Amino acid sequence: MDLVTPDFGLVFWTGLTFLFLVLILRKFAWKPILGAVEEREYGIKDALASAEKAKLEMQNLTADNERILKEARAERETLLKEAREIKTKMIADAKDEAQSQASKLIEQAQIAIQSEKKAAIAELKNQVAELSVNIAEKMVREELSNNDKQLKLVEDMLGEATLN
């Protein structure tokens, strides 16, 4: 018997044993192995789908975050612009109010100056009138101290007066 050349019986029984082993493995081992492989394949597909879904959600969240940031920046700029406008308006209002108050004070000062000027002029007129009366009185006394001068003054006045 030669080990290199197989005998027909050995080949037959080896083939039959192999076929029997394949059938038993197919019935009891291959189905659970293939089921586990398929289950793992589905798990991997689900994991990939979940990862793709998570990636899309992350992209959406990133886009939402960028949109929210842009809106926040725009709102901040709007608020800053409004604050600057309010500040400018308040300054302008304060300047206008100060200008108005200054104008009122100037007007009141001018009125007071005019009033004082009129009072000073009236005072001056009174003093001039009093001085004129005093001078006239002194002159008339001197004129009237003499009888001839008195008669001449009366005649002159009568000559100037006209009767209606």
Per domain, the residue ranges of the chain are 8-116
Residue pLDDT, tens place only, 115-145: 999 999 999 988 888 888 888 777 777 766 7
Q: What is the 3-state secondary structure (H, E, C) of 32-74?
A: HHHHHHHHHHHHHHHHHHHHHHHHHHHHHHHHHHHHHHHHHHH
**Which residues of the chain have a pLDDT value below 70?**
1-4, 143-144, 161-164
pLDDT at 164: 46
pLDDT of 162 reads 62
DSSP 72-85: HHHHHHHHHHHHHH
